[in-house]
Structure 1
Amino acid sequence: MAVLLLAEVTDGELNVDATSKAVTAAAKLGDVTALCCGASAAAAGEAAAKIKGITKVLVAEDASLGHRLAEPTAALIVGLAGDYEHIVAPATTDAKNVLPRVAALLDVMVISDVSGIIDGDTFERPIYAGNAIQTVKSTDGKKVVSIRTSTFDAAEDGGSASVETISAAADPALSEWVEDKVAASDRPDLTSAGVVVSGGRGVGSKDDFAMIEALADALGAAVGASRAAVDSGYAPNDWQVGQTGKVVAPDLYVAVGISGAIQHLAGMKDSKIIVAINKDEEAPIFQVADYGLVADLFDAVPELTKKLS
């Protein structure tokens, strides 16, 4: 079977982490063709060609594909869909914007957040905040699938796929770019960072959340937050980890002042090592933590930061 993978391209650069993990999943379905599209995508296409598991790369460059507009990208994918049984993408914000439009145009269902592939028709996906795994079987002629990349290992480098330039589809002109508002940061991207330090409502205030940032900087980590911390105004929304935020699976996840609500655990339970710091020894976070420190975070975090600096 043939698989079309929408590679994650932002401002002309390939998100290698998300794309290579999606390749691992897509390769279980058949031969993988990667689509790199944007106002500038040639460099991303060359990078994708080096990922093992990709047999061919299609590069589409056009102004209409810039600024991550979903409608022109969906139109391009639908125009290519006739040659593929599966259309897949990593379950990123951009892909979640594109794939439902693709599915609607093809009159099929989206199979979202897939964490396991049984065969070409049958998939596993988490439900109930990750506390159960649902097995779904699709009877659609074409499958549109988003991949929960945190459950797959990254494909190796060393590929040598061919690269072909293609034309963009006609712009449906359903939307236009106005502006991007992106928070600039020197820290690693939250969804692909190897280390994440997250703070919860126990941190107490926006000013005290600076302790979390200082610890993260000492570890070279990304900063995350629980929904309670975000709702309380301690941290911006794009730092939120959990069922309604971002799903992460770093090598090390440090949870500070986070009780461990089920919605938060759904976003970080696949982390390789989980460290929890909380003064409540009955906090649910300790049930999933590999290492736990029952301590006042206002004493423990500055001391830990000092020793790491």
Structure 2
Amino acid sequence: MEAKTKDLWVFVETNTDGTAKNVGIELLTPGKMLAEKQGGELVAVVIGENVGEAVDAANAHGAQKILVVDGPEYKNYSTDAYTYVICTLVEKYGPTSMLIGATNNGRDLGPRVSCRLKTGLTADCTSLDIDPDSGNVAWTRPAFGGNLMATILCPDHRPQIGTVRPGVFKKGLETEKQAVIINEKIHVDAKDIRTQILEIIQDAGDEKIDLEGAEIIVSGGRGVGGPEGFKTIQELADVLGATVGASRAAVDSGWISHAHQVGQTGKTVGPKLYIACGISGAIQHLAGMSSSDCIVAINKDPEAPIFDVADYSLVGDLFEVLPILVDEIKKARA
């Protein structure tokens, strides 16, 4: 289909209580930049039940227009209902591009919407811009197993759609609420929703690791040497009140669970402080943590790629450095 406007849409995913998930609010930050370069408006799309709080959050973080679809059939995400709503809105308003958070639901919704609209989708983006030559969105994502970064354009079909991982961008500062709020009445019959939620199990598994919401992360990689090595990582994390992360190499070796993995095939994070211990710095890992405010790298290899993105670099054995660091932190707090 052809775009009717130059607007950029951000799908603001909601929780069952009507609040906004962080990733949708985060995406309003790059969304504003892209919308300005496209010459259009930044539009938030909010779907759910009793979504007043989510609408307020989008309004406070820069949305110029908010399309709201509120109804009991949208309390829980379903592929059929949400796809129908998004496609109906797109056909009515005709945006030129759309951002969707790469959550479990977003990764389900994005491909279905792009297929229904006969347009392209770039998944798991880590950087966004406007190509100066064509005016298309330049979607950048890891490719070939994380060994290089690819920039993808969708020149012929609209809207251009991409999913972006939580934590890649940070929430902008709250602004004056000036958005135009448009309530759309779109109903989906229960018979047209082919799935039904029977039960929601919270915190499945034996642990819940909130890497995406952590302000401090201490991560271990191949240099940790084994599962016992993560005890040293945990000691530093404990004194800092941090969350323990890990590289893919450590997870694949079975030293720590996948719930701790940072990187292309793990979580994308952006904490205030990220301490990488014994992590070489493969592109796959850098894609998941390079947006951290401050990066401290500890590695025996002075040529490790992690030092290229680190704000502070320590060349040394992590098993010698971390105990000293833990002792000094404890002394400072005594």
TM-score (norm 1): 0.83
Q: Which residue of structure 2 aligns with residue 169 of structure 1?
A: 188
Residue of structure 2 equivalent to 1:47: 57
**Quick one: distance in 1 between partners of 2:51 and 2:251?**
35
Local SS of the residue matching 1:209: helix
Once the 2 structures are TM-superposed, how far is the Cα of residue 101 of structure 1 from its aligned partner?
1.0
Aligned to 2:31: 26
1:301 has 2:322 as partner: yes
Distance in 1, matches of 2:213 and 2:155, equals 30
Q: 3-state SS of the aligned residue for 1:159?
A: coil
- Deviation per residue, 1:5-33 (Å, 9 max, x gap): 211323433234x2333112223232233
Alignment of 1:144-293 (within 5 A): 144-147=161-164, 152=169, 154-160=171-177, 161-165=179-183, 166-171=185-190, 172-177=192-197, 178-182=199-203, 189-293=210-314
Q: Which residue of 1 aligns with 2:127?
A: 115
1:54 and 1:159 in contact (8 A); partners too: no
* Alignment check: 8 A CA contact 2:43 2:63 kept: no
Superposition deviation, residue 61 in structure 1: 3.6
Deviation at 1:103, TM superposition (A): 0.8
Q: 1:266 to 1:151 in 2, by over 3 A?
A: closer
Does the CA-based 8 Å contact 1:4-1:84 persist in structure 2?
no
Task: Name structure 1 gaps, 5 residues minimum.
Answer: none
Aligned length: 306
SS of corresponding position for 2:292: coil
SS in 1 for 2:291: coil
The answer for the alignment partner of 2:90 in structure 1 is 81
> The residue matched to 2:153 in structure 1 has which SS?
strand
> Hey, what's the Cα distance between the residues in 2 that align with 1:210 and 1:59?
48
Q: TM-score w.r.t. structure 2 length?
A: 0.78
Cα distance in 1 for partners of 2:121, 2:208 equals 35
Counterpart secondary structure, 2:188:
coil
Give, in whole Å, the separation in 2 of the partners of 1:47 and 1:152: 16
Output aligned runs, 1:111-150, within 5 Å: 111-112=122-123, 113=125, 115-118=127-130, 121-128=136-143, 129=146, 131-147=148-164
Is the Cα–Cα contact under 8 Å of residues 2 and 32 in structure 1 kept in the other structure? yes
Shift of 1:152: 4.6
Q: RMSD over aligned Cα, in angstroms?
A: 3.0
User: CA separation of 1:238/1:168 partners in 2, compared to 1, >3 Å: closer, same or farther?
Assistant: farther
Partner of 1:15: 21
Q: Does 1:70 align with 2:79?
A: yes
| 1:263-287 superposed Cα distances (whole Å, 9 cap, x missing partner) | 2222223333321122344433234
Pair 151,209 (structure 1): closer, same or farther in 2 beyond 3 Å: closer
Counterpart Cα distance in 1 of 2:277 and 2:213: 20
Decide whether the 8 Å contact of 2:274 with 2:296 is kept in 1: yes
5+ long unaligned stretches in structure 2: 1-5
In the TM superposition, what is the alpha-carbon distance from 1:176 to its structure 2 partner? 3.0
Q: Is the 8 A contact 2:78 2:193 kept in 1?
A: no
Larger Rg: 2
The C-alpha deviation readout for 1:222-280, integer Å capped at 9, x for no partner, is 33211111122232213211122222233322111222233222222333332112234
Matched-pair contact (CA < 8 Å) for 1:65–1:73? no
Letter in 2 for 1:81: V
Instruction: For 1:225, give the aligned amino acid.
Output: A
Q: Distance in 1 between matches of 2:90 and 2:302?
A: 53
Aligned-partner Cα distance in 2 for 1:217–1:236: 18
Q: For residue 74 of structure 1, report the CA deviation from its aligned partner.
A: 1.9
State the shift of 1:163 in Å.
4.2
Q: 1:11 to 1:254 in 2, by over 3 A?
A: farther
Paired AA for residue 59 in structure 2: A
Give the secondary-structure state (helix, strand or coil) at the position aligned to 1:228: helix
Cα deviation, residue 47, structure 1: 2.2
Confirm whether residue 35 of structure 1 aligns to residue 35 of structure 2: no
Indicate conservation of the 8 Å contact 2:220/2:278, yes or no: yes
Q: Does the 8 A contact of 1:45 with 1:59 survive in 2?
A: no
CA spacing shift, 1:270–1:237, aligned 2, 3 Å? same
Contact 1:34–1:57 (Cα < 8 Å) also in 2: yes
